[in-house]
Amino acid sequence: MAKKTAPKRPAKIIVEHEEIIIESSSSEHEHGIETTQEGSIVDMAGSSKTAPRKAPGRAGAAASGKAKSAVAKGKARAVEHEEMDVDEVLLVDDDRPSRTKPIPKVSKANAVSIARLTREKESLSREVDRLRKNVDSLNAQVSKYEEQLEELFHIRETEAEQNLREQAEQYEAKIQTQEALIKELTSQLTKTKALGASAKASVVQFLTREAADEEKLAVEREVERCRDIIKNRDQQLAEKDKRIQDLEVQETILRSDLAAEIERGNHLSKNPPPPSARTHTKPPDDPKNALVIRLYEDMTNCLIVSAKVGKSAYFNLDEPVFSCVYTHRDPDSDVTAASVNFSLREIWEKPEGSDPDSPVKSKDDLVMRMKYQPYNLENEPEEFVKALKFLGHAFIFARDQLPIFLKSLTENVDNAVRGAVEEDMSEGEEVVGMEEVVQNEVVIVE
């Protein structure tokens, strides 16, 4: 009895110590399970018969210290009770299932798992950064492609497409021409076969060749005809160009002559004959003619100072030039007399509406006209010149309009002297007719 009961107390004490150690280690083990993954739990759940390894950390050191103290106490009790049969106690312990559990390597596993989680987190963050960069680059490429696509939508036709279209049109025209030629040759071949249906194949071939030669000859004749037409057109164009050059030279000469005539007219206007002279350089032989001329001058107030003869550009015809002075006199008033110096020249010109390029063959192709040229108007007041209206400029009119010219000259000078501006010209039909002649038929010489 003593043998059996003696070892039970220390065995129970050992079991209680072991239970205390297991509880403390199990709490740490549960804490380790909460902070680690499933892989570390498998490592910690080792075999119950294996000896626990030392783990770093204070928790591991405490657990191993407790285990060593429990084993030391058991050994001390066994030494104290050497009388007891320790083997039976050990057998009793072996018969019961052991409630002890191996102490897990909590600290080392946590460190490994934390390091692995840190590495995974860093790798994931690096992967996220790389994916973000890829997304940004892809977005930039998409924006670039969208801009290019928008430009392509705005461009109706590129240069390559235009070249392709033009080339396609050329090929299409060539194909149509070849198809038309094939149709024509086929129709000719059909006609030849119909004509020589009873003949041999060689005869048919001969007729087809002959028709082709005739067609070729016809085309060559047409080409020659077109060439002749082109040559004639070229000759006509060359003649027209030459004629244009001649006309340009003639225009230059006429312009120079016109400039010289204007310069001579200006010189004559600056040095006119004296208006007060009433005597003729050559008195008429008959006194009656002098009386008649004086009567005309007194009736018209127009004095013919001198006369000379110029030459026309056509057939060297005579063109008389008369230097005249018109003097205004009003017997009912004491207004100072005013005069207008001018010249009248008979000129030969082509009829109005005739072709300017048509040659003049004879004197019958020309008509006589009168050219009016005033002088010394720059010495007159501006109001006086404005009141003269169209008489203040040089112009050309028909010779049969001389009475209307004299009427207009008298009335306009009278209005200029009186200083009245005529508003309604409808009262004098002849004056209106003269103004129409000046506006429609007259060539004003500046």
pLDDT attached to residue 273: 52
Q: Which two tokens stand for residue 342?
A: 């001018």
pLDDT attached to residue 120: 93
Q: How are strands ordered across the β-sheet holding 302-311?
A: 302-311, 318-328, 338-349, 367-375, 395-398
Task: For residue 284, give the DSSP letter.
Answer: -
DSSP secondary structure of 121-180 = HHHHHHHHHHHHHHHHHHHHHHHHHHHHHHHHHH-S--HHHHHHHHHHHHHHHHHHHHHH
- Which regions of 236-386 does DSSP assign to beta strands (E)? 302-311, 318-328, 338-349, 367-375
Cα–Cα dist 53/46, whole Å? 11
pLDDT attached to residue 25: 39
CA of 233: how far to CAs of 49, 247, 256, in Å? 126, 21, 34
CB 310 within 8 A of CB 287: no
pLDDT attached to residue 222: 92
CB 111 within 8 A of CB 40: no
Triad 370, 372, 375: Cα angle to 5° = 155
pLDDT attached to residue 413: 84
CB 432 within 8 A of CB 408: no
Cα–Cα nearest to 417, from 384, 395, 373, 444 = 384
Task: For residue 386, give the DSSP letter.
Answer: H
Q: What are phi and psi of 13, to 5 degrees?
A: -65, -40
Residues of 242-259 as b/e, b for ≥16 C-beta within 10 angstroms? eeeeeeeeeeeeeeeeee
Cα–Cα dist 110/40, whole Å? 8
- Measured from the Cβ of residue 100, the count of other Cβ atoms closer than 10 Å reads 14
Cα–Cα dist 140/142, whole Å? 5
Q: Is the pTM of this model over 0.75?
A: no
CB 319 within 8 A of CB 396: no
3-state secondary structure of 281: coil
Q: Compute, in degrees rounded to 10, the torsion defined by CA atoms 40, 41, 43, 46.
A: 170
User: So where are the chain's domains?
Assistant: 209-269, 301-354+361-420
Per-residue pLDDT of the chain (446 residues; tens, 9 = 90+): 344 444 444 444 333 343 333 343 334 444 443 433 333 333 333 433 344 444 444 444 444 444 444 444 444 444 444 445 444 444 444 445 555 555 555 577 788 889 899 999 999 999 999 999 999 999 999 999 999 888 877 777 778 888 898 999 999 999 999 999 999 998 888 887 776 655 554 444 555 777 888 888 999 999 999 999 999 999 999 999 988 988 888 888 888 878 877 877 776 666 655 544 444 445 445 677 777 888 887 788 888 888 888 888 888 888 899 999 888 776 666 555 678 889 999 988 888 777 777 777 777 788 888 899 998 888 888 888 888 888 888 888 888 888 898 888 888 888 887 764 444 344 444 444 454 444 444 444 43
Triad 366, 441, 350: Cα angle to 5° = 15
Q: Which two tokens stand for residue 416?
A: 């200029």
Give me the amino acid identity at 346: E
Cα–Cα dist 149/142, whole Å? 10
Which CATH architecture does the domain made up of 301-354+361-420 adopt? Alpha-Beta Complex (3.90)
- Measured from the Cβ of residue 13, the count of other Cβ atoms closer than 10 Å reads 14
